[in-house]
Chains A and B, each alone.
Chain A
């Protein structure tokens, strides 16, 4: 891993665009330093899966992510929070290089997976190791079995037989808590499932290839409360298996499922820390404003 190099201080946002609820002078330099220390390598004894270092992403000339530094650690759930349009999705999609599908997107800085630059890995290789669940459930128009087996089939040099796939598919569906519901109907079309089931199917599909990191972009925003609850439980259970980065605009959800929370605002990382610390003792003024209303 990299030796700790001096990190750039978190840049302040344009004061004219900052919320004026609290005097910006209270957003003390101390907060920025504390956060820089928290995201620095070696600040935790858990293994670091991914490291985002001084990452900036722009669509054309319009910046979406600015100078973000963040660790993604094994056994932990990292929750990305922030108001809509602050660059959460962009940051998440850059972790498995899906931002490259947008022609105008340009990134600077570095992202590593187990110490390797992700831009030097084959895209296919990277994406099977860093898997993703989207905001809208997007099961393929195939059977449930084929959906879950998709990633395994695409990764094998030779097409594996159905019987070889069956235990892997079952394991993934069990991990996603869907086996009890669909175990008997694996050949049913996936598009007939309910929204919540579809999203869990997408989670199973993403888990089937045994990724090292699982990215989730507001996985519950299209779902009803009951399904949301099931998926939150699921995330809590999965954290031992895979490092999870979840984007959410729902603070309670971040509080329920997150171990660490990163708060983004206008593309910048404003706050980073453990759940307790960010929600109970936020260091930056803007975090206080944002999370303040939640538990009042």
Chain B
């Protein structure tokens, strides 16, 4: 009233300067900044570099034509087949991984008996998550070359089973997505409040129908997130493709049944295409490798960040 005529001093932050710190602390502080900014610069550099190469070399022609045999980069065609291969393989892998991952998460969170088995399964999934994909691939080749799995791939005249196909590669790829789907489903289920379950039981619903009608719908965003991350991983993996899909130039069908023939057949993906067209592979067509890598990068980033953007938008609608 009487003294409020002059403006008051406003304090948000008092003096707290890094300059007053001892030298080692200042060095550590600036190292933190340097590392943080450094990471941003590396990421920006990587994206800009790929963008530059992508805009330079990607053309509709490349995307819509198949690879071909040729002596230089102008003759070797595009990467339609690898692009389709990535899509098919990702779908196969995800379709196998979702039921497995969701079922396991439900069993762990809602039943989890016997406790020991549940704990073993959880560790098992961690082991799968930690197993190098090259080992998964090479194991898959061993497994699926067995006679009983001949329906999944190609049996040569001598009776040897090739073990290489979209189905076998997809089966192993599902193991890459499994831990991600499992973890995010488990988190989502654990966050469902106990009252929700109790309310459903109070209505006389059984546990199983509670899971189906209440828990799975509630956990759906978590399942979706895990699935998107898993798809990103599958699309980005190369080792399993090189070993289990054959990395053939075209999609080679096996048999004549419409979809099955493709699934049993071999092919390539964007990752193996990039690998084979780099100086490390046989193709050595850097421009094509860059173009395919750019498309691959877009795809993987869309899978990793698309869910974020979608969920942010839906949250805004609710608020």
A and B touch in the complex (CB under 8 A): yes
Q: Is B3 touching A8 in the complex (CB atoms < 8 A)?
A: yes
Cα A8 to Cα B3 with chains together (Å): 6
Instruction: Select the stretch in B9-17, B51-59, B217-225, B237-245 that faces chain A.
Output: B9-17
Interface assignment of A85: CB less than 8 Å from any CB of chain B: no
Cα A6 to Cα B15 with chains together (Å): 29
Q: Tell me which of B8, B14, B15, B20 contacts A109 (CB under 8 A).
A: B8
Q: Is B22 touching A157 in the complex (CB atoms < 8 A)?
A: yes
Q: Is B15 touching A54 in the complex (CB atoms < 8 A)?
A: no
Instruction: Select the stretch in A118-126, A130-138, A241-249 that faces chain B.
Output: A118-126
Cα A118 to Cα B1 with chains together (Å): 26
Query: Which A96-130 residues sit within 8 Å CB-CB of chain B?
Result: 97, 100, 105-110, 118-126
Using known A-B contacts A122-B20, A124-B20, determine if residue A100 contacts B12 with beta carbons closer than 8 Å: yes
Q: Is B9 touching A108 in the complex (CB atoms < 8 A)?
A: yes
Q: Could you tell me the distance in whole angstroms from the C-beta of A116 to the nearest C-beta in chain B?
A: 11
Cα A9 to Cα B4 with chains together (Å): 11
Q: Could you tell me the distance in whole angstroms from the C-beta of B7 to the nearest C-beta in chain A?
A: 9
Q: Could you tell me the distance in whole angstroms from the C-beta of B88 to the nearest C-beta in chain A?
A: 49
Residues of B near A56 (CB, < 8 A) are 8
Q: Could you tell me the distance in whole angstroms from the C-beta of A90 to the nearest C-beta in chain B?
A: 13
Interface assignment of B2: CB less than 8 Å from any CB of chain A: yes
- Chain A residue at smallest Cβ distance from B21: A124
Q: Is A121 touching B14 in the complex (CB atoms < 8 A)?
A: yes
Q: Could you tell me the distance in whole angstroms from the C-beta of B319 to the nearest C-beta in chain A?
A: 19
Using known A-B contacts A118-B14, A121-B15, A123-B15, determine if residue A110 contacts B9 with beta carbons closer than 8 Å: yes
- Chain B residue at smallest Cβ distance from A121: B15
Cα A105 to Cα B14 with chains together (Å): 12
Q: Is B15 touching A8 in the complex (CB atoms < 8 A)?
A: no
Q: Is A106 touching B11 in the complex (CB atoms < 8 A)?
A: yes
Using known A-B contacts A120-B15, A123-B15, A123-B16, determine if residue A8 contacts B4 with beta carbons closer than 8 Å: yes
Cα A157 to Cα B9 with chains together (Å): 33
Cα A124 to Cα B19 with chains together (Å): 12
- Chain A residue at smallest Cβ distance from B8: A108
Count of A residues near B, CB < 8 Å? 25
Q: Is A106 touching B10 in the complex (CB atoms < 8 A)?
A: yes
Count of B residues near A, CB < 8 Å? 17
Q: Could you tell me the distance in whole angstroms from the C-beta of A168 to the nearest C-beta in chain B?
A: 20
Q: Is B11 touching A119 in the complex (CB atoms < 8 A)?
A: yes
Q: Could you tell me the distance in whole angstroms from the C-beta of B41 to the nearest C-beta in chain A?
A: 27
- Chain A residue at smallest Cβ distance from B22: A157
Q: Tell me which of A9, A11, A106, A119 contacts B14 (CB under 8 A).
A: A119
Residues of B near A126 (CB, < 8 A) are 14
Using known A-B contacts A122-B15, A124-B20, determine if residue A8 contacts B1 with beta carbons closer than 8 Å: yes
Residues of B near A157 (CB, < 8 A) are 22
Q: Is A109 touching B3 in the complex (CB atoms < 8 A)?
A: no
Cα A124 to Cα B13 with chains together (Å): 13
Residues of B near A105 (CB, < 8 A) are 12
Residues of B near A123 (CB, < 8 A) are 14-16
Q: Could you tell me the distance in whole angstroms from the C-beta of A117 to the nearest C-beta in chain B?
A: 8
Could you give, for residues 6-48 of chain B, a 1 whenever the CB lies within 8 Å of some chain A CB and a 0 otherwise? Answer: 0011111111110011100000000000000000000000000
Residues of A near B8 (CB, < 8 A) are 54, 56, 108-109
Cα A8 to Cα B4 with chains together (Å): 9
- Chain A residue at smallest Cβ distance from B10: A108
Q: Is A6 touching B3 in the complex (CB atoms < 8 A)?
A: yes
Q: Could you tell me the distance in whole angstroms from the C-beta of A105 to the nearest C-beta in chain B?
A: 8
Residues of A near B12 (CB, < 8 A) are 100, 105-107
- Chain B residue at smallest Cβ distance from A9: B1
4 closest A-B pairs by beta carbon, nearest first, are A119-B14, A123-B16, A108-B8, A107-B11
User: Told that A6-B3, A109-B8 touch, could you supply 14 new A-B pairs with CB distance under 8 A?
Assistant: A6-B2, A54-B8, A100-B16, A106-B12, A107-B10, A107-B12, A119-B11, A119-B15, A121-B14, A122-B20, A123-B14, A123-B16, A124-B16, A124-B21
Can you name 11 A-B pairs with beta carbons within 8 Å? A54-B3, A100-B12, A100-B16, A106-B10, A107-B11, A107-B12, A108-B11, A109-B8, A118-B14, A119-B11, A124-B21
Q: Which residues of B pack against A, CB within 8 Å?
A: 1-4, 8-17, 20-22
Q: Which residues of A pack against B, CB within 8 Å?
A: 6-9, 11, 54, 56, 97, 100, 105-110, 118-126, 157
